Homo-oligomer: A and B are copies of this chain.
Amino acid sequence: MDSLRRLASVPLGRVVFTRHALPAVRPVNHIVADGQIVIRSSAGTILSTELAAFEAVVAFEADELDVKERLGWSVVVTGVAQLVKDPEETARFKSMIQPWVMGEMEQVIRIRPEIITGYELVPAVVPG
Which residues of A come within 8 Å of B, CB atoms? 11-12, 14, 16-18, 22-27, 57-59, 61, 63, 65, 67, 70, 74, 76, 78, 99-102, 121-122, 124-125
Contact = CB atoms under 8 A, between A and B. Distances in A.
Contact of A65 (B27, B57, B61, B70): B27
Give the number of times this chain occurs in the complex, counting copies.
Answer: 2
Contacts of A24: 16, 59, 76, 78
Contact of A61 (B14, B70, B101): B14
A4 B25 CA distance: 17
A58 B16 CA distance: 11
Contacts of A58: 23
A69 to B, nearest CB: 10
A101 B65 CA distance: 12
Of A16, A18, A57, the most chain B CB neighbours within 10 A belong to A16
A57 B22 CA distance: 7
Contacts of A59: 22-25
Contact of A17 (B23, B67, B125): B23
Contacts of A11: 67
